[in-house]
């Protein structure tokens, strides 16, 4: 068997990991050459382990119980048009993950373990606490790789939920189409944010200080992603806001797809809210109508 060159092996692996369940085919006769390369190549081995963790986060985001959506059972109905540049950004983020891993020592199948993560799958328990340091601007310094991956994993999860439904799930078709349209917009906005050299990412934290999601923004766009919240009860919504000097400015409302809550927005030329001014970005559970002002469930320090 002629060994694969690194460039060819990398391309095959990139295609494989972007398919649901693709990593499960490593170790089968159809992937013998690629598996042998992964065993011998530290860079590709690191990629495989990073994508296994990503797969775990995807599975956790799909929820549980009778309403769970299984990736293997989904038939494409109205696929989301993910920007081409986002594929390269995702792969670049995964390649830069830190070295914390268990080495592949034999060409045995690289199995994807059953999802065991809780609702906060995008927090430090899944992605490694050492990597979740203070957020930094990418102007002059690179944002830590796992930080860049945090919002990407969430988007992959919600896109997987919204890409399609089985034909006999007609009762959920309208909802899926609405979610698909919203997710398409979120994905496009995230792509613009990550393409901006001056973009920033900060942690959304719960009252106990645990990382529960992320807030990403550039000069014009922002994206909020979290898997730590349950859908609101009837008559309630999750409101996003910025607070400075004790005064809150409303920003938007969270929406749900599977186990992922998200919101994105764009700042027009006339907008008066400026993230560089500091303050606190918060999310609180509020009545659909009536006065707001409940304590923050999740918050991010914009001065980080």
Q: Give the pLDDT score at 192.
A: 82
- Among 93-102, 103-112, 208-217, 239-248, the range scoring the smallest mean pLDDT is 103-112
Distance CA 236, CA 67 (A): 22
User: By the 8 A CB rule, do 197 and 138 touch?
Assistant: yes
Give a yes or no: residue 165 inside a domain. yes
Give a yes or no: residue 124 inside a domain. yes
**What is the sign, positive or negative, of the torsion defined by CA atoms of 59, 60, 63, 64?**
positive
Three-state DSSP class for residue 9: helix
Q: What is the mean pLDDT of residues 18-27?
A: 69
Distance CA 50, CA 45 (A): 9
Give a yes or no: residue 242 inside a domain. yes
Q: What is the mean pLDDT of residues 131-136?
A: 34
pLDDT at 132 over 80: no
Distance CA 137, CA 202 (A): 10
**Dihedral angle of Cα 76, 153, 186, 232, to the nearest 10 degrees:** 90
Helix then strand then coil, in percent of the chain rounded to 5, is 40, 20, 45
**Strand ranges in the chain using DSSP code E only, listed in sequence order:** 200-205, 211-217, 221-226, 236-244, 247-253, 255-257, 260-266, 280-287, 298-301
Sole residue written with tokens 């914009």:
302
Residue whose C-alpha is closest to residue 228's, from 210, 208, 213: 213
Name the pLDDT band for 124 (thresholds 50, 70, 90): very low
Q: Give the pLDDT score at 299.
A: 95
Give a yes or no: residue 36 inside a domain. no
pLDDT at 138 over 70: no
Give a yes or no: residue 168 inside a domain. yes
User: By the 8 A CB rule, do 91 and 14 touch?
Assistant: yes
CA 151 to chain centre: 4
Q: Give the pLDDT score at 184.
A: 72
Mean pLDDT of the chain: 66
Q: Give the pLDDT score at 37.
A: 81
Q: What is the mean pLDDT of residues 59-84?
A: 51
Q: What is the mean pLDDT of residues 24-29?
A: 74
Q: Give the pLDDT score at 101.
A: 42
Q: Give the pLDDT score at 296.
A: 95
Give a yes or no: residue 111 inside a domain. no
Phi, psi of 149 (to 5 degrees): -75, -30
CB atoms within 10 A of CB 249: 11
Q: Give the pLDDT score at 69.
A: 52
Which tokens sit at 263? 């919101």
pTM: 0.49
Q: Give the pLDDT score at 140.
A: 39
Residue whose C-alpha is closest to residue 236's, from 301, 190, 297: 297
Tell me which of 245 and 30 has the higher pLDDT: 245
pLDDT at 209 over 70: yes
CA distances to 14, 25, 28, 128, 298 from 45, in Å: 12, 15, 17, 17, 35
Three-state DSSP class for residue 23: helix
Tell me which of 179 and 1 has the higher pLDDT: 179
Tell me which of 94 and 230 has the higher pLDDT: 230
Which tokens sit at 61? 């985001």
CA distances to 62, 63, 108 from 66, in Å: 11, 9, 33
- Among 21-35, 132-146, 150-164, the range scoring the smallest mean pLDDT is 132-146
Give a yes or no: residue 8 inside a domain. no
Q: What is the mean pLDDT of residues 28-40?
A: 78
Q: What angle do CA 168, 171, 176 make, to 5 degrees?
A: 95
User: For residue 52, what are the domain limits?
Assistant: 41-103+117-301
Which tens digits make up the pLDDT trace of 100-121? 443 333 333 333 333 322 333 3
Counting beta carbons within 10 angstroms of the beta carbon of residue 257, is it exposed (0 to 12), middle (13 to 18) or buried (19 or more)?
A: buried
Q: What is the mean pLDDT of residues 54-82?
A: 53
CA 185 to chain centre: 15
Q: Give the pLDDT score at 294.
A: 94
Give a yes or no: residue 7 inside a domain. no
pLDDT at 149 over 60: no
How many domains does the chain fold into? 1
């Amino acid at each position: 068997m002629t060994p694969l060159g690194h460039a060819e092996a990398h391309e095959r692996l990139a295609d494989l990991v972007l398919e649901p369940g693709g990593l499960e085919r490593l170790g089968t006769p159809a992937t013998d050459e690629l598996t042998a390369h992964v065993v011998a190549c530290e860079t590709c081995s690191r990629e495989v382990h990073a994508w296994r963790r990503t797969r775990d986060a995807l599975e956790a985001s799909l929820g549980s119980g009778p309403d769970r959506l299984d990736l293997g059972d989904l038939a494409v109905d109205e696929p989301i048009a993910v920007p081409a540049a986002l594929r390269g950004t995702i792969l670049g983020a995964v390649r830069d993950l830190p070295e914390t891993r268990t080495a592949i020592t034999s060409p045995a199948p690289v199995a994807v373990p059953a999802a065991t993560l809780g609702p906060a799958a995008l927090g430090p328990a899944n992605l490694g606490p050492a990597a979740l340091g203070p957020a930094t601007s990418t102007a002059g310094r690179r944002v830590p790789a796992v930080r860049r991956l945090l919002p990407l994993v969430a988007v992959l999860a919600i896109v997987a939920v919204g890409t399609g439904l089985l034909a006999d799930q007609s009762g959920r078709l309208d909802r899926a189409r609405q979610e698909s349209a919203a997710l398409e917009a979120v994905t496009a906005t995230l792509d613009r944010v990550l393409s901006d050299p001056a973009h920033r990412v900060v942690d959304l934290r719960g009252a106990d200080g645990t990382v529960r999601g992320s807030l990403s923004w550039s000069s014009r766009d922002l994206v909020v992603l979290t898997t730590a919240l349950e859908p609101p009860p009837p008559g309630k919504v999750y409101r996003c806001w910025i607070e400075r000097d004790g005064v809150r400015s409303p920003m938007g409302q969270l929406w749900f797809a599977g186990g992922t809550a998200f919101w994105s927005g764009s700042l027009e030329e006339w907008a008066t809210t400026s993230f560089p001014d500091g303050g606190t970005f918060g999310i609180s559970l509020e009545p659909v109508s009536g006065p707001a002002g409940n304590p923050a469930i999740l918050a991010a320090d914009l001065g980080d």
